[in-house]
Amino acid sequence: MAVIVNLDVMLAKRKKSLTELSEEVGITMANLSILKKGKTRAIRFSTLNAICKALECQPGDILEYVADDDAKS
pLDDT at 53: 97
pLDDT at 72: 56
The residue range of the domain holding 62 is: 2-70
**What pLDDT, on the 0 to 100 scale, is given for residue 71?**
54
Could you give the angle at the alpha carbon of 62 between the alpha carbons of 67 and 21, nearest 5°?
150
- Structure-model confidence comparison of residues 45 and 73, the more confident one: 45
Rounded to an integer, what distance in angstroms lies between the CA atom of residue 71 and that of residue 3?
9
Structural domain tally of the chain? 1
Please write the tens of the pLDDT for every residue from 5-54.
Answer: 999 999 999 999 999 999 999 999 999 999 999 898 899 999 999 999 99
**CATH number of residue 32's parent domain:** 1.10.260.40
